[in-house]
């Protein structure tokens, strides 16, 4: 149980285009989903927290107009990187939690390369 | 700025050796400490959630201890096997419920 999928696993896009990443909880309803970014040799850095049906809460320094998060249902959250630039190339990973639980369940991540 | 440090960054051990690594975290505003095991191309897998000072958790050959007063946790692997090769991440969860991750310890167990 507690499986989270993420799609796509890898994406290469041209500078200026937008990319959407999906995060799905497959066998449970996720009240909260988190989006993280990891640059090489660095730790997972929280970008934003999203609760189903409400606006995401972004961490300091993360542009909400550039990284659009939609959490339309209890099993799906999407992250759209708008007008991507090479500096947005990174590893993006989501996780999902259930209200009242200590645990968060991770997807396998998405490697984004912007050329 | 809250910081979580893990050491060592990487290590190689021989099959059958026991090993341990450290996670250091802020000693104030503690809520929980998480350990994850992360194999390449897979999702991080939850190992332990630790909430109380003095907690000791065990799962098979892997165990962990927690000291919230001094801000550290140890992860131990007894009799390492090649399948234990992975990155071991710790994450500090504060009273504001945000997770702060360390950079991980990359373990390679040589057969």
- Residues of chain B neighbouring A36 (CB-CB closer than 8 A): 101
Q: Is the pLDDT of residue B106 over 90?
A: yes
User: Which pLDDT band holds residue A1 (cuts at 50, 70, 90)?
Assistant: low
Mean pLDDT score, B49-56: 93
Neighbour tally for A9: CB within 10 Å: 13
Q: Which two tokens stand for residue B59?
A: 């799962």
Is the minimum CB–CB distance between A35 and chain B shorter than 8 Å? no
Q: What is the DSSP string of chain A?
A: ---EEEE-SEEEE-TT--EEEEEEESSS--SEEEEEEE-TTS--EEEEEEETTSPPEEPTT--TTTEEEEEEETTEEEEEE-S--GGG-EEEEEEEE-TT-S-EEE---EEEEE-
> Is the CB of B43 less than 8 angstroms away from the CB of A106?
yes
Of B56 and A31, which is predicted with more confidence?
A: B56
The nearest alpha carbon in chain B to A44 belongs to B101
Q: What pLDDT is attached to residue B95? A: 80
* Residue A2 in this model has a pLDDT that exceeds 90: no
pLDDT of residue B2: 72
Determine how many CB atoms are found less than 10 A away from the CB of residue A44: 26
| Cβ neighbourhood burial of B29 (10 Å; 0-12, 13-18, 19+) | exposed
From the list B93, B92, B94, the residue with the least C-alpha distance to B102 is: B92
Q: pLDDT tens across A13-57, in order?
A: 999 999 999 999 999 898 899 999 999 889 999 999 998 888 899
Q: Inter-chain contact A105–B104, Cβ cutoff 8 Å?
A: no
State CA A17 to chain mean position distance: 18
Residues from B contacting A (CB-CB < 8 Å) are 4, 32, 34, 36, 41-44, 46, 49, 51, 89, 91, 93, 98-104
Radius of gyration over every alpha carbon of chain A, rounded to an integer in angstroms: 13
Nearest to B32 among A45, A49, A102 (CB): A102
% chain B with pLDDT above 70: 99
Using a CB-CB distance cutoff of 8 angstroms, which residues of chain B are in contact with residue A97? Answer: none
**Which chain B positions have a beta carbon within 8 Å of A46's beta carbon?**
98-100
CA distance A82 to A15: 10
Q: What is the pLDDT of residues A60-103, one digit of tens each?
A: 999 999 999 998 888 999 999 999 999 999 999 999 988 778 78
């Amino acid at each position: 149980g507690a499986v989270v999928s993420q799609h796509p696993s890898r994406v290469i896009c041209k500078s200026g285009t937008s990319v959407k990443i999906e995060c799905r909880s497959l066998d449970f309803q996720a009240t909260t989903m988190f989006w993280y970014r990891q640059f090489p040799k660095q730790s997972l850095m929280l970008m934003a927290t999203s609760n189903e049906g409400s606006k995401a809460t972004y961490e300091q320094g993360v542009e909400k107009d550039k990284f659009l998060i939609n959490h339309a249902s209890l099993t799906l959250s999407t992250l759209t990187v708008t007008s991507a630039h090479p500096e947005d190339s990174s590893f993006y990973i989501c996780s999902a939690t259930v209200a009242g639980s200590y645990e968060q369940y991770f997807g396998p991540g998405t490697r984004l390369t912007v050329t | 700025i809250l910081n979580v440090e893990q050491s060592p960054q990487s290590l190689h051990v021989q099959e059958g050796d026991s090993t341990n690594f450290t996670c250091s975290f802020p000693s104030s505003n503690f809520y929980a400490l998480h350990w994850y095991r992360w194999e390449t191309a897979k999702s991080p897998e939850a190992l332990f959630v630790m909430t109380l000072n003095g907690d000791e958790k065990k799962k098979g050959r892997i165990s962990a201890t927690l000291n919230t007063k001094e801000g550290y946790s140890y992860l131990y692997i007894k009799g390492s096997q090649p399948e234990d090769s992975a990155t071991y991440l710790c994450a500090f969860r504060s009273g504001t419920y945000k997770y702060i991750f360390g950079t991980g310890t990359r373990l390679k167990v040589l057969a």
